[in-house]
A and B are shown apart, each in its own frame.
Chain A
Amino acid sequence: MNPAFLCIAVVCGIGLSFISARSSPKGWIIGTFLSASAGIWLAGIAFLGKHALEWKSAFTVGGQTLHCVLDPLAAWFLVLLCTVGSAGALYSLSYWSENKHPRSAISARRWWTLLTASMGLLLISANGLQFLFAWEVFALAAYFLVTTDRQKRDVRQAGYLYLGASHAATLILFAFFAGIAVHTGTWDLNHLAGHAELAPLFWMALVGFGIKAGIFPLHVWLPSAHANAPSHVSAIMSGVCIKMGIFGLLRFSQWMPVPPQAGWVILTLGVVSSIAGVAFALGQHDLKRLLAYHSVENIGIILLGIGFAFISKANGHAAWGQIAMAGALLHVWNHGLFKSLLFLGAGSVIQACKTRIMSRMGGLWKKMPLTTVFFAIGAAAISGLPPLNGFVSEWLVYLGMLDALTGHGIVAGTAVIPIVALAITGALALACFAKVCGIVFLGAARSEAASNAGESPRSMLTAMAIPAMLCAIIGACPTVFWPLVAPTLSAFNPAWETPIQPESLSTLGSIHLGLWAAAACLGFVMLFSLIRSKRIRRSITWDCGYAQPSVRMQYTAASFASILTSWFFWLLHTVRHEIPPHGPFPAQATVEEHTPETVLEHMVQPVANGILRLSSATRRLQHGRVQSYILYLIIGIIGIALVVGWANPNREQPQNHSSSPYQTVSPQKTDSSISSQPCI
């Protein structure tokens, strides 16, 4: 199909969504699906076509020619955006409907459309100003979505924190793009590869995009924003929005030269993010905050792969780099899918239990069986268990790192550390999701709301089924997706002309397929025999043989993870309030644990308070005494005089024209303007 026709379809779909957001949610969802499917089709053309789709406007907007490029790299992220964008939209239909949220349902739909549209524009932008425009609209739309429920104080605070962090990122990116424009003389971003002097700008991009991606020390905004947003918004924030940071990093290392140390820095950040992310996740009691910290962890895993790709690019384009990169790219998709699935599942659970605290849930498997199944698929996938997609991508990253280990040089020597880090991360993630699934879905209900919970409506279940299915498909047939990964790899680094599919990928695929088949057979046999033998009976969850079991005898989220969090005390600074039991008949004993936002409270807040103190100190300059104002004026004038005197030391000899830079521009004018001044 003609790409132009598809573009029109995308624009029409977005327009339809905007128009019908108020009057008909059905029209809104149709528009969303129309633009999403046209977008996926366009991405397919970009993957399989020989050349990237490119469009340059014949007109100018604000002096800039619009420039859009859809190459396989952009297409890779576009597919994820379209998938999660439509699944989240479908979920929101009954999750955030007019009945439940009359104040914000319509605006949430509008901002959703704007958010997805601006992210799409961001992906295809090849002009600095256009990119910044899309970036800013995307950041603002995300802010309004995060604060959809802004009657609550926590939500507003999370919104401010997000907005502050987001604008810090935008500011740095402004400097970054302005730096490019100064060096190249144009805001257009094509043909930057020849400018070797642009390489140091990469560090700015790393910080700017790193804030958005939630790389560990820069992640401060992420947990509260993800936790306080409506769940479908958390899903797209975690699944797609933070990937825009990754996209930016990849895009500007694809188009621009990068400094040689970049790969090592990214690798270090990846190790730190993955371990710190999962450690903080273990300490959380809030279900969505926990999932948010897992986003930090998974960004770390993606960075591990990207770091190896960068190192390989700087060391003769070794083949292990492309395998690690393939793993990172696939993990971008996979994390987008299973994390949005988990957030959507968490949204259903939280709506049923009316709380985000895991220790008030419990026993939901019996009340919400389908939600439990979907959540369990997501949990298994994020823990990197076969035969799901998380295993495939993490395994590709492992494969790349192991290949590097067998090579020579410094890379081989240091590749052990990220391998160990990734292994630790995987194990801790598994422990963390064992905790989540055990506390939330197993055992007995710990609160009134949890015991009265019911299954979610069908549209929410369908929305969860989409990413769950895709998780299973990518896990079962990873080789199907290699033809999409390969052009993306060669778009990222043209030196990897035709990336060869690692042989073991197809072996892995067949093993996974076999596992799925075996699981299906086993399931059918068990179900069949259970039905035949009529031995299905309902009873209470096993009560360990106590005569009078109570729900308070169950493990809590904190006690389950207690050992693991104590290992990471040096990082988490977990606060523990404890009244230990005394005597043979202890009367009262409690233990309570709370993990603070260490980076935010111990690093960002002191700096912010210092800035605040400094700026309120400057207010003392304004006190209403005219005399001092005049003094400021004089100091200012003298300062300017000094600056001018410093800048033009030749000013005293107006005859000496040869040193004047203006001389060459228009000598005639300079002469006349000087001679017309009788003095000075």
Chain B
Amino acid sequence: MNSMLNNLIALAIGLNLIALGTSRIPSLIRAMSVQGVILGIMPVLMDHHLDWRVIAIAVATVGVKGVAIPHMLNRAMRSANIDRDMEPLIGYVPSLLLGAAGTIAVMVLSRYLPLLPHHSGSLLVPGALASVLTGFILLIGRTKAISQVCGYLILENGIYLFGLLLLESTPLMVEAGILLDLTVAVFVIGIIVDRIQREFDSLDTRKLTALRE
């Protein structure tokens, strides 16, 4: 089972790199949503007995991350009439290289972390850190609001991966709360995207500097 889990995490890491390398926003959203689905089915595959709690979490995660959020983002993208992040602050190739280097670095780093013995073989921790890193690179490197939302969601996926380590001890309500937070956050960002679009005729967040002070 553990190797299956590791394969899935490796897939998620690969999706991270796709998200970093692509210039088209639809493929960014797709990478993000596929990652969400993969993460959603992961708790089912982890080695402990299935109960309704785990299944509920899996279903909710797949539903929200795989379907609802991508749908909202696609709609926002269509209404804003953009499908490319033209002027990234960090170029696609540099960000891809950064992401790859970061992934290798966290792989090495996680060896030195004081993990519990039964977690030490899995890719969970490096995968989680790599996703967080990817999310941060997207947040820092992209200018369009929608790409940044995707970065934020990938960041959250990393946190979710980390949370899988604690699956036994995290109550259902906390998981549900995190999902709810996420949905509301994307919803709010969707509204903000709309507002930015109307105000500045663009989704370029650099123009928000006009609002300072």
The answer to whether B116 and A625 have CB atoms under 8 Å apart is no
How far, in angstroms, from A678 to B116 measured CA to CA in the complex?
7
Known contacts A654-B114, A679-B116: A624-B166 contact under CB 8 Å: no
Say if the beta carbon of B95 comes within 8 Å of chain A. no
Say if the beta carbon of A547 comes within 8 Å of chain B. no
The answer to whether B140 and A680 have CB atoms under 8 Å apart is no
Known contacts A652-B114, A678-B166: A627-B143 contact under CB 8 Å: yes
How distant is B121 from chain A, measured CB to nearest CB, in Å?
13
The answer to whether A651 and B114 have CB atoms under 8 Å apart is yes
The answer to whether B140 and A624 have CB atoms under 8 Å apart is no
Say if the beta carbon of A628 comes within 8 Å of chain B. yes
Say if the beta carbon of B1 comes within 8 Å of chain A. no
Known contacts A678-B165, A678-B169: A627-B116 contact under CB 8 Å: no
The answer to whether A680 and B113 have CB atoms under 8 Å apart is yes
How distant is B5 from chain A, measured CB to nearest CB, in Å?
16
Interface residue from A627, A651, A653, A679 paired with B140 (Cβ < 8 Å): A627
- A 621-648 binary contact with B (CB < 8 Å = 1; else 0): 0111111101100100000000000000
Say if the beta carbon of B208 comes within 8 Å of chain A. yes
How distant is A659 from chain B, measured CB to nearest CB, in Å?
15
How far, in angstroms, from A627 to B166 measured CA to CA in the complex?
31
Say if the beta carbon of B48 comes within 8 Å of chain A. no
**Shortest Cβ distance from B113 into A: residue:** A680
**Shortest Cβ distance from B89 into A: residue:** A627
The answer to whether A624 and B208 have CB atoms under 8 Å apart is yes
Interface residue from A627, A653, A678, A680 paired with B139 (Cβ < 8 Å): A627
How far, in angstroms, from A127 to B33 measured CA to CA in the complex?
66
**Shortest Cβ distance from A633 into B: residue:** B136
How distant is A616 from chain B, measured CB to nearest CB, in Å?
14
How distant is A675 from chain B, measured CB to nearest CB, in Å?
11
CB interface residues, B 178-213, toward A, < 8 Å: 205-206, 208-212
CB interface residues, B 115-154, toward A, < 8 Å: 115-116, 119, 125, 136, 139-143, 148
How distant is B110 from chain A, measured CB to nearest CB, in Å?
10
Known contacts A631-B140, A678-B166: A626-B205 contact under CB 8 Å: yes
How distant is B181 from chain A, measured CB to nearest CB, in Å?
19
Contact partners of B168 in chain A: CB under 8 A? 678
Say if the beta carbon of B112 comes within 8 Å of chain A. yes
CB interface residues, A 650-680, toward B, < 8 Å: 651-654, 678-680
**Shortest Cβ distance from B211 into A: residue:** A624
The answer to whether A623 and B114 have CB atoms under 8 Å apart is no
The answer to whether B112 and A652 have CB atoms under 8 Å apart is yes
The answer to whether A623 and B209 have CB atoms under 8 Å apart is yes
Contact partners of A623 in chain B: CB under 8 A? 209, 212
How far, in angstroms, from A625 to B125 measured CA to CA in the complex?
31
Contact partners of B116 in chain A: CB under 8 A? 678-679
How far, in angstroms, from A359 to B113 measured CA to CA in the complex?
80
Contact partners of A678 in chain B: CB under 8 A? 116, 165-166, 168-169
**Shortest Cβ distance from A654 into B: residue:** B114
The answer to whether A679 and B212 have CB atoms under 8 Å apart is no
Known contacts A678-B166, A679-B115, A680-B115: A626-B208 contact under CB 8 Å: yes
- A 604-628 binary contact with B (CB < 8 Å = 1; else 0): 0000000000000000001111111
CB interface residues, B 87-127, toward A, < 8 Å: 89, 112-116, 119, 125
How far, in angstroms, from A631 to B95 measured CA to CA in the complex?
14
Contact partners of A679 in chain B: CB under 8 A? 115-116, 119, 125, 165-166
Q: How large is the interface on A (under 10, 10 to 19, 20 to 34, 35 or more residues)?
A: 10 to 19
The answer to whether A625 and B209 have CB atoms under 8 Å apart is yes
Contact partners of A622 in chain B: CB under 8 A? 212
How far, in angstroms, from A320 to B16 measured CA to CA in the complex?
83
How far, in angstroms, from A628 to B89 measured CA to CA in the complex?
10
**Shortest Cβ distance from B145 into A: residue:** A626
How far, in angstroms, from A623 to B169 measured CA to CA in the complex?
42
The answer to whether A634 and B136 have CB atoms under 8 Å apart is yes
How far, in angstroms, from A137 to B24 measured CA to CA in the complex?
65
How far, in angstroms, from A654 to B116 measured CA to CA in the complex?
11
CB interface residues, B 5-47, toward A, < 8 Å: none
How far, in angstroms, from A631 to B140 measured CA to CA in the complex?
6
How far, in angstroms, from A400 to B31 measured CA to CA in the complex?
89
How far, in angstroms, from A653 to B112 measured CA to CA in the complex?
10
How far, in angstroms, from A464 to B136 measured CA to CA in the complex?
74
How far, in angstroms, from A627 to B205 measured CA to CA in the complex?
9
How far, in angstroms, from A171 to B115 measured CA to CA in the complex?
46
How far, in angstroms, from A342 to B116 measured CA to CA in the complex?
81
- B 44-80 binary contact with A (CB < 8 Å = 1; else 0): 0000000000000000000000000000000000000
How distant is A638 from chain B, measured CB to nearest CB, in Å?
11
How far, in angstroms, from A305 to B125 measured CA to CA in the complex?
71
Contact partners of B206 in chain A: CB under 8 A? 625
**Shortest Cβ distance from A631 into B: residue:** B140
The answer to whether B140 and A630 have CB atoms under 8 Å apart is yes
**Shortest Cβ distance from B165 into A: residue:** A679
Most buried by A among B114, B168, B212: B114
The answer to whether A627 and B136 have CB atoms under 8 Å apart is no
How distant is A549 from chain B, measured CB to nearest CB, in Å?
65
How far, in angstroms, from A652 to B113 measured CA to CA in the complex?
7
**Shortest Cβ distance from A627 into B: residue:** B140
Contact partners of A628 in chain B: CB under 8 A? 140
Most buried by B among A623, A627, A631, A654: A627
How far, in angstroms, from A652 to B206 measured CA to CA in the complex?
42
How far, in angstroms, from A404 to B112 measured CA to CA in the complex?
69
CB interface residues, A 71-108, toward B, < 8 Å: none
How far, in angstroms, from A624 to B205 measured CA to CA in the complex?
10
The answer to whether B212 and A653 have CB atoms under 8 Å apart is no
How far, in angstroms, from A677 to B32 measured CA to CA in the complex?
30
How far, in angstroms, from A669 to B206 measured CA to CA in the complex?
50
The answer to whether B114 and A653 have CB atoms under 8 Å apart is yes
Most buried by B among A622, A626, A653, A654: A626
Contact partners of A654 in chain B: CB under 8 A? 114
Contact partners of B119 in chain A: CB under 8 A? 679
**Shortest Cβ distance from B208 into A: residue:** A624
**Shortest Cβ distance from B141 into A: residue:** A627
How far, in angstroms, from A624 to B209 measured CA to CA in the complex?
4
Contact partners of B205 in chain A: CB under 8 A? 625-627
How distant is B161 from chain A, measured CB to nearest CB, in Å?
13
How far, in angstroms, from A679 to B212 measured CA to CA in the complex?
41
The answer to whether A680 and B208 have CB atoms under 8 Å apart is no
How far, in angstroms, from A634 to B169 measured CA to CA in the complex?
28
How distant is A92 from chain B, measured CB to nearest CB, in Å?
46
How far, in angstroms, from A628 to B141 measured CA to CA in the complex?
9
Contact partners of A652 in chain B: CB under 8 A? 112, 114
The answer to whether B114 and A680 have CB atoms under 8 Å apart is yes
The answer to whether B136 and A624 have CB atoms under 8 Å apart is no
Known contacts A630-B136, A678-B166: A624-B212 contact under CB 8 Å: yes
Given contacts A626-B139, A627-B142, A680-B113, 20 further A-B contacts (CB under 8 A): A622-B212, A623-B212, A624-B209, A624-B211, A625-B205, A626-B205, A627-B89, A627-B139, A627-B140, A627-B205, A630-B139, A631-B140, A651-B114, A654-B114, A678-B166, A679-B115, A679-B116, A679-B125, A679-B165, A680-B114
Report which A residues bind B (CB closer than 8 A): 622-628, 630-631, 634, 651-654, 678-680
Report which B residues bind A (CB closer than 8 A): 89, 112-116, 119, 125, 136, 139-143, 148, 165-166, 168-169, 205-206, 208-212
19 contacts between A and B (CB under 8 A): A622-B212, A624-B208, A624-B209, A624-B211, A625-B205, A625-B209, A626-B148, A627-B141, A627-B142, A630-B136, A630-B139, A631-B140, A634-B140, A678-B166, A678-B169, A679-B115, A679-B116, A679-B119, A679-B165
Enumerate the 8 nearest inter-chain pairs by beta-carbon distance, A residue then B residue, closest first: A624-B212, A624-B209, A630-B139, A627-B140, A631-B140, A652-B114, A630-B140, A679-B165
